[in-house]
Amino acid sequence: EADIYQTPRYLVIGTGKKITLECSQTMGHDKMYWYQQDPGMELHLIHYSYGVNSTEKGDLSSESTVSRIRTEHFPLTLESARPSHTSQYLCASSPGKGGTGELFFGEGSRLTVL
Amino acid sequence: AQSVTQLDSQVPVFEEAPVELRCNYSSSVSVYLFWYVQYPNQGLQLLLKYLSGSTLVKGINGFEAEFNKSQTSFHLRKPSVHISDTAEYFCAVKPPTGANNLFFGTGTRLTVIP
C-alpha cells in the first residue's frame, strides 16, 4: 500500500494568489516527482528530485517552483496563480536504488484559478 | 527518446465482455513497460509491469498484458470486465538506465456498460 499524500485535494482561487500544494510520503523514497495532468493529454513531468536539496525541472516548462528540505516532503509553489495554471497536479515517489522505475502516486490536487 | 501511443482514447464495452486496450511505444533501447489505472478523482495505481522474462504479465484485478518486441506493443487485456473497471488507463515506458521518469501515453478511458 503506497503512502503518499497530497493536500489540498481541490483548490479554487483567484488570479494573482500564491499557492502551495503539499506532498508527503512515508516510504522513505529518495526520488519524488510532480506531474501535470490535463484531460486527453499525457502526464507531463514538471519537477523532480533525487534527494534532499536536489531539484530539477522536468520536460514541461512550468512557472511553479519546488523544494526538498526533507526526504518525505516535496511541496510545489506558484507565486502568482493564473487561469493557465488550472490543472490537476500529481505527486509521485520511487525508491532511489534498486527500484524498477515504478512510481507511487498521490491522489492529486485539482487546481482551478479564476 | 521514448514515446507512447495509446491508439484509442475511449473504449466502451459491455459488462462481462472481453477488452483490449492498445499501447505502442517507440524507443531505440530496451524499456520497462507499465500500465496504470486511474479511477475518478484519484491518483494513478500500478496495474502491472514488464521488466524482463516472460512476455505475458499478469496484474491486479484480472488484467494481463503481453509484450511484443517486434511490434513494440504492450496491449492490456481482460477476459471479462466489470462495472468497477470503468476508469482511465495509462501506458508508460522507462529505459532501464538513464532517465528516471516514466513517459506516459495520453490514456484510454474504459467505460463498462451494464
Average pLDDT estimate for B80-86: 97
- Quote the pLDDT of residue A12: 97
CATH code for the structural domain at A4-113: 2.60.40.10
Interface mutation vs chain A, best among B102, B106, B109, most A CBs within 10 Å: B102
Whether A1 contacts chain B with CB within 8 A? no
Whether B102 contacts chain A with CB within 8 A? yes
Q: How far is the C-alpha of A66 from the C-alpha of A23, rounded, in Å?
A: 11
What cell was used for B30?
530496451
Query: Taking CA atoms, what residue in B is nearest to A34?
Result: B101
Contact indicator for A75, A69 with CB cutoff of 8 Å: no
Distances (CA, A) of A52 to A30, B10, B38, B65: 8, 40, 29, 36
- Quote the pLDDT of residue B98: 64
Interface mutation vs chain A, best among B34, B101, B106, B109, most A CBs within 10 Å: B101
**Taking chain A (114 residues) in consecutive chunks of 10 residues, what is each chunk's mean pLDDT?**
87 96 94 91 90 89 91 96 95 79 91 96
Whether A38 contacts chain B with CB within 8 A? no
φ, ψ for residue B42, nearest 5 deg: -130, 170
Query: Residue A41: its chain B contacts at CB < 8 A?
Result: 106
> Is B82 a residue whose pLDDT tops 90?
yes
Contact indicator for A9, B76 with CB cutoff of 8 Å: no
Which residue is associated with the grid cell 521514448? Answer: B2
Between A12 and B27, name the one with better pLDDT: A12
> Is B100 a residue whose pLDDT tops 70?
no
Q: Tell me the pLDDT band of B92, cut-offs 50, 70 and 90.
A: very high
Provide the mean pLDDT of chain B. 91
**Amino acid at residue number B4:** V
| Residue among A33, A40, A100 minimizing CB distance to B32 | A100
CB pairs below 8 Å between A and B: how many?
57
What cell was used for A1?
500500500
Query: Taking CA atoms, what residue in B is nearest to A108?
Result: B43
Distance of CA B65 to the CA centre of its chain: 7
| Residue among A58, A102, A106 minimizing CB distance to B43 | A106
User: In terms of CATH, what superfamily is B3-113?
Assistant: Immunoglobulins (2.60.40.10)
> Is B53 a residue whose pLDDT tops 90?
no
Average pLDDT estimate for B88-106: 84
